[in-house]
Amino acid sequence: YARVMLFARVSEKGIADVRRAVYDKMISLPVVFFEKSRVGELVSRLTADVEKLYSAFSITLAEFLRQVIILVAGIIFLGITTPELALIMLATFPVVVISAMFFGRYIRKLSKKRQEELANSNTIVSETMQTIQTVKAFTNEWFESRRYGSSIDKVVRFAMQYARGRAIFAAFIIVILFGALFFIIWQGANLLQRGDITAGDLIAFVSYTAIIGGAIAGLGNFYTELLGAIGATERVRDILKQEDEVEVRKSESAPGLSILGDIRYEDVHFHYPTREDVEVLKGISFSVKAGQKVALVGSSGAGKSTIVQLLLRFYDLQGGDILVDGRSIREFDISAYRRHIAVVPQEVLLFGGTIRENILYGRPDATEEEVIEAARQANALDFIRSFPDGLETLVGERGVKLSGGQRQRIAIARAILKDPAILLLDEATSSLDAESEKVVQDALNTLMEGRTSIIIAHRLATIREVDCIYVIDQGRVIEQGTHEQLSLLENGMYNNLARLQFEGAIGN
């Protein structure tokens, strides 16, 4: 009882610490890491790999240590009573150890391959569930079934190879043990004939040797189990060895920092780490004074979203600098700095909790009155109160129970509650219908009051009132000015875009 409870306590607390460490490490890693990894594969490392560790620590390790104690105690006893036969038995140990080292490398490699393929199968499930509407729209259930089945077949194949390696190792150990036992009995009979030992000593030695042999056989089995767990730990260690972007604090406290919101891009050059051959920004330079509203306009792929992501320090620059209030953004504590920035994206993905929890994500320590006021300013309070559960309404996975306009207003309320100095709007109304767009645009206007705001927009009608418009093309600023100024440029890119959109709107 004591042994089971001791190892249960140690293993449960130990594995809980491992899970926390891996999760904290994951969320502290930079965006680049997640762009190079698949979500399902990372989840598998946190679940399947750690679960294998739990199995090893909670059961296998306890039994392993028990067998070690039996083995050591038995050898000491036999060494005292019949040292001649004990030495013969110990002569088999180097063979067992060398074979264990050989099989160990093989089994550890197979275990890692199995865990990797299991992670791949989990990734397929994750991707399919997240895009289930696309799967059904293209009637590709058969394709996803075949893809998942193929991955599972690989898991089984690696698992069988792993089991075969364990079986061969166990059989080898048993052959060695029985061979040694027969040799010991033969040698013991010779000693008995010469009168060096008594019949009782020989019987006792054979009995204890059988017990020790059972312990060694058990050790072989538990050893291969532990090697499988070590294979899983290698994948976990791959994550733990990554370099942190931020420190995961135990609370939301961060070093104090005051930001006004004056922004300046100075000759910024950038390419994505995953596409080093494609330079996205080629010497971008522009400025935004504190409290100003500016818009970034340009064709898809021009670099607008990249400009915003760099301000958030999601990536490091290859050249130039970005200054906020006259200081390079690289000089700020990254958590304290980001606390002064809020983002309202085009496609809002809410957390699968309540409306209250999603709004509070902007500032978890906000009061009830502050949450309600943020919802009111975001034009969200009326539709929230129309639900029977009000703020306690569950929004569903990624907010699927709410409409696009409702999700946008929840995101705006979250940003209002955060009360940032800098606001980034990534085409926040471009996917909405006209009625929803008006309500959301009114909420955005409230949000932008007194804040430095950078807007990425395709609908030029929504940015006529901004202080300055920067036209981006192929990673460069090619035009800048107000809507009226840019509209006067006869062959300007903005003028052409405006003419196409406004004439199209009139035609419709």
**In this prediction, what percent of the chain has a pLDDT beyond 90?**
11
Kindly state the average pLDDT of the residues 396-408: 84
Question: Which amino acid does the sequence have at 339?
Answer: R
pLDDT reported for residue 362: 86
Higher pLDDT, residue 125 or 482: 482
- Write down the pLDDT at residue 452: 92
Helices marked H in 257-391:
304-311, 334-338, 355-360, 368-377, 381-386
What average pLDDT does the segment 359-383 reach? 88
- Identity of the residue numbered 82: T
Q: Which pLDDT belongs to residue 76?
A: 80
Flag whether pLDDT at 239 surpasses 90.
no
Q: Does the pLDDT of residue 172 top 50, yes or no?
A: yes
pLDDT of 216 reads: 67
Q: What is the pLDDT of residue 259?
A: 87
What pLDDT is stored for residue 154 in this prediction?
87
Can you give the pTM of this predicted structure? 0.71
Q: Which of 65-74, 191-200, 313-322 has the highest mean pLDDT?
A: 313-322
- What is the widest separation between alpha-carbon atoms in the chain? 118
User: Which residue matches tokens 């607008």?
Assistant: 304
Q: With pLDDT > 70 as the criterion, what percentage of the chain qualifies?
A: 84
Give the C-alpha separation, 452 to 288, whole Å.
7
- Give the mean pLDDT of 221-248: 72
Q: Is the pLDDT of residue 252 over 60?
A: no
Provide the mean pLDDT of the chain: 80
What pLDDT sits at residue 322?
93
Question: What pLDDT does 139 receive?
Answer: 77
The Cα 320–Cα 11 span in angstroms is 50
The gap from C-alpha 47 to its chain's centroid, in whole angstroms, comes to 12
| 88-129 confidence digits (pLDDT tens) | 777 766 766 677 667 767 777 777 787 778 778 878 887 787
Q: Residue 338: CB partners within 8 Å, gap ≥ 6?
A: 312, 313
Q: What are residue 346's phi and psi, to 5 degrees? A: -65, -50
Specify the pLDDT at position 505.
Answer: 45
Instruction: Return the minimum-mean-pLDDT range out of 126-140, 262-276, 279-293.
Output: 126-140
Banded model confidence at residue 288, pLDDT cuts 50, 70, 90: very high
Does 273 or 181 have the greater pLDDT score?
273
pLDDT higher than threshold 60 for residue 430:
no
> Quick check: 320 pLDDT over 50?
yes
pLDDT of residue 227: 67
Residue, of 392 and 245, whose pLDDT is higher? 392
- Residue at token pair 């898809």: 300
- Cα(22)–Cα(48) distance, rounded to whole angstroms? 13
Residue 478 clears pLDDT 80, i.e. is over it: yes
The b-or-e profile of 147-179 (16+ CB within 10 A means b, else e) is ebeebeebbeebbebbeebbeebbebbeebbee
| 228: pLDDT strictly greater than 80 | no
3 state DSSP class of 323: strand
Q: Can you give the pLDDT at residue 508?
A: 43
- pLDDT(340) > 60: yes
Residue that wins the pLDDT comparison between 229 and 398: 398
Q: Residues 112, 34: contact at Cβ < 8 Å? A: no
